[in-house]
Amino acid sequence: SYVLTQPPSVSVAPGQTARITCGGNNIGSKSVHWYQQKPGQAPVLVVYDDTDRPSGIPERFSGSTSGNTATLTISRVEAGDEADYYCQVWDSSSDHVVFGGGTKLTVL
């Protein structure tokens, strides 16, 4: 089965740039989506199709892919960005949705 690998945690100071990676075999051939989840809340989509932002999501959130890694970049990090972030793809070979293990972003 397809596996997505994320670092368990990332820490960054306010105003700096956070980069959260998501590794998967040939992930560049898939569409990667990113969700933000704050404690006690349902996930919210922040980036879809590798690089696109839903309406209402700040431009500070951006996505990219290169090789076997997708990256969510959060520029000018704010305290309110502290949350868990999950990458997600559709694995067509198994007809399964796959989530990464999640990354806890801590704003120092």
Partner 1 sequence: EVQLVESGGGLVQPGGSLRLSCAASGFTFSSYEMNWVRQAPGKGLEWVSYISSTGATIYYADSVKGRFTISRDNAKNSLYLQMNSLRAEDTAVYYCARKYYYDSSGSYFDYWGQGTLVTVSS
What's CA 26's distance to the chain center, in Å?
A: 17
DSSP structure class, residue 75? -
Residues 6+ apart with CB under 8 A from 29: none
**Nearer to partner 1 (CB atom), residue 61 or residue 86:** 86
CB of 92 to partner 1, least distance (A): 9
CB of 87 to partner 1, least distance (A): 10
Say if CB 81 and CB 38 are below 8 A apart.
no
**Nearer to partner 1 (CB atom), residue 73 or residue 90:** 90
CA 24 – CA 45 distance, rounded (Å): 20
Residues forming the site for partner 1 (CB under 8 A): 1, 31, 33, 35, 37, 41-43, 45, 48-49, 52, 54, 84, 86, 88, 90, 95-102
CB of 59 to partner 1, least distance (A): 19
